[in-house]
Chains A and B, each alone.
Chain A
Amino acid sequence: MFDRSTLSWRNLPVPLVGAARRYVPLNRPETPVAGAILPLMPFLSLARDLAALLVPVRPRADFRTGLQRNLMAAAQQQAARDRLFDAIPAVSSAQENRRWIWGAATVGSAVSLAGIAAYVWLQRHRQAA
């Protein structure tokens, strides 16, 4: 993944290296401005150490393939579930409200009729008495 042999201060991903190289001709280290790069050397060395420490790691092959298998199974289940929900016609909230109103009206009417019937029965019962 990463070739450590290519890691030198010349190609490190350190922005300050780029800045320094713009001003210091690499083929003329005796140039007075070459001194400008000296304070940067510890940082370059530190960056090299970091690159050596934080090497890319890869997951175990069996973990990688096992997780992929399980994810694909879960993705297929999810896709099937989504297709099923898409197939069921959605009930709009207006339709749902209308159902509740009809249900409440029916129950209310039944209670009223029962009340009238009870009143009539009670009156007849009193007259008979």
Chain B
Amino acid sequence: MVVSAKTDPEAFGELYQRNVDRIYSYIYYRVGNITDAEDLTARTFYQALGGIGRYHDQGAPFVAWLYRIAHNLVANHHRAKGRWQLASLDEIEPASKPSDNPSRVAESGERRQALWSAIHRQPEERQRLLILKFADRMSNEEIGEILGRTESSIKSLYFRTLKALRADLEARGW
């Protein structure tokens, strides 16, 4: 598929269809707003189209290459903005239903905001791990291919991340 996508626009369209949702989801949680997520998603695929002729299969799946492009664009985006901007949780679809008890919804909103802030206080690699695991529903093996680590190292990084998150939240009275 990737080999034919170098010369066949239809094959590239198929690659786009397969991967656009997960790439968008990843970028969305890294930048925190729809406008930037759409802009960076488009740039990721244009860059992939421009560079696919030079792409060489080195054992990792094609999507790992797309994530690398997306990651670099997100990093440049944050550098250009000069600082890390914490996304507003208002833009993230709440998990609660409209019929839920309002006080419980408010409490749940505070917990979500606290957790969101705690995630953003983690080192970048841990944030990427959490987004890939939860928002993109990837296995440890797939995450390892994207982050350039072994599956067992991803498992231990994940456990360390949970411990660090919990310690951070407890220190803030969660």
Residues of chain A touching chain B, judged by Cβ–Cβ distance below 8 Å, are: 1-2, 4, 13-16, 42-43, 46-47, 49-60, 63-64, 67-68, 70-72, 74-76, 78-79, 82
Docked complex Cα distance between A46 and B114 (Å) = 12
Asked whether A58 and B166 contact (CB < 8 A) given A2-B137, A67-B41, A78-B49, the answer is: no
B-side interface residues, number (CB < 8 Å): 50
Task: Provide the residues of chain B in CB contact with A51, threshold 8 Å.
Answer: 134
Task: Provide the residues of chain A in CB contact with B119, threshold 8 Å.
Answer: 50, 53
Task: Provide the residues of chain A in CB contact with B140, threshold 8 Å.
Answer: 13, 15
B71 beta carbon closer than 8 Å to chain A:
no
Residue from the list A15, A47, A79 in contact with B8, Cβ < 8 A: A79
Residue from the list A15, A55, A67 in contact with B159, Cβ < 8 A: A15
The A/B interface has a contact count, at CB < 8 Å, of 111
Task: Provide the residues of chain A in CB contact with B115, threshold 8 Å.
Answer: 49-50, 53
Docked complex Cα distance between A57 and B87 (Å) = 15
Interface residues of B in 21-76 (CB under 8 A from A): 21-22, 24-25, 28-29, 34, 37-38, 41-42, 45-46, 49-50, 53
Docked complex Cα distance between A46 and B134 (Å) = 12
Docked complex Cα distance between A76 and B13 (Å) = 11
22 A-B pairs with C-beta separation under 8 A: A13-B140, A14-B158, A15-B140, A15-B155, A15-B158, A43-B162, A46-B166, A47-B162, A49-B112, A53-B116, A54-B135, A57-B29, A58-B24, A59-B38, A68-B16, A70-B42, A71-B45, A72-B10, A75-B12, A78-B49, A79-B8, A82-B7
Docked complex Cα distance between A2 and B137 (Å) = 8
Query: How far apart are B59's CB and chain A's nearest CB, in angstroms?
Result: 24
Query: How far apart are B90's CB and chain A's nearest CB, in angstroms?
Result: 13
Q: Is the interface of B mostly helix, strand, loop or mixed?
A: helix
B121 beta carbon closer than 8 Å to chain A:
no
3 closest cross-chain pairs (CB), A and B: A75-B9, A54-B134, A59-B24
Question: Are B131 and A54 within 8 A (Cβ)?
Answer: yes
Docked complex Cα distance between A76 and B93 (Å) = 37
Question: Are B137 and A1 within 8 A (Cβ)?
Answer: yes
Task: Provide the residues of chain A in CB contact with B2, threshold 8 Å.
Answer: none
Question: Are A58 and B95 within 8 A (Cβ)?
Answer: no
